[in-house]
Amino acid sequence: MPPPPPGRLVLVATPIGNVQDLSPRAAGAISEADVVCCEDTRHSGQLFSRLGLRPRRLVSLHGHNEAARASEVVGWLAEGLTVALVSDAGLPGVSDPGGRVVAAAHEAGARVTAVPGPSAAPTAVALAGLGDGRWRFEGFLPRKGAERRHRIAQAERSDVVTVFYESPRRVDALLGELAAAAGDGRLVAVGRELTKLHEELWRGPLGTARGRWPAGEARGEFVLVLDVAPPEALEPPPPGELALAVEELVAGGLSRRDAVAEVAGRLGLNTRAVYDALPRGSQRGRPDAL
């Protein structure tokens, strides 16, 4: 087995708003690295200049070039270089580029460390005061389609709080979809521009949240924290209701397999649970059918 690369990959969390949140250790890691990979070299360059940091070398690493850049990073690690990885804000790899590079470094046997720091998701969870401290992170949802509906349905039935990221153009639409799924009374906390000058944390029922940040008028970055489901929402619908929902979709022209997938997605259920609710003669097409 070849020896591990002598270099080191360091993930460095950068401020999500207030530049003073960059820790002294993070500043040292950026200054001492042989190469600093940035989501946007101009954005990071301005941040470093404001803080008086002078990295030795800046290179871009974003969603469009990460796959190609990963092999370069592994090469630098093999040369014994220290590579720091930063995103525009927060911790790389959390709804930001970085995951592929980290995986490639691990596969090469390189040492991977992190300088923890600001992140919008746990900050919003702490400010929201919802749930019991457990939470699940959804980040940015798909723009549309069955996967989006499925993940919203999972959040609607979750026994832990769920955290979403959303742009100002689409935050009102997401709040409407969450209200339609979870009900107007479910609590939500909406964080906007966290740690910045115009920071806002609003907490209240979904029915009241809709319309507060209309598309075209809202500004800033948003984090939504959806409260846990009430006990009655955690129970799946009776088998009869599931079977009826499937038959209605089949009558509308869907194949049985697609109808089952649609119902499962709407309710955040496994397709097996929906198939189990169907009459015995209607289970043709299930993946485990004999």
Going from the C-alpha of 161 to that of each of 60, 97, 188, 227, the distances in angstroms are: 35, 25, 9, 5
Structure pTM?
A: 0.80
Distance CA 176, CA 67 (A): 36
Q: What is the pLDDT of residue 1?
A: 67
Q: What is the pLDDT of residue 248?
A: 85
Distance CA 232, CA 253 (A): 32
Contacts of 51 (CB under 8 A, 6+ apart): 19, 22, 27
| Residue 50 CB neighbours (<10 A) | 10
Ramachandran angles phi, psi of 146, nearest 5°: -65, -35
**Greatest distance between any 2 Cα atoms in the chain:** 71
Q: What is the pLDDT of residue 268?
A: 72
Q: What is the pLDDT of residue 278?
A: 87
Q: What is the pLDDT of residue 178?
A: 97
Beta pairing class for 35-38 and 58-60: parallel
Going from the C-alpha of 221 to that of each of 96, 174, 194, 203, the distances in angstroms are: 14, 14, 8, 16
Ranges in the chain, pLDDT < 50: 289-290
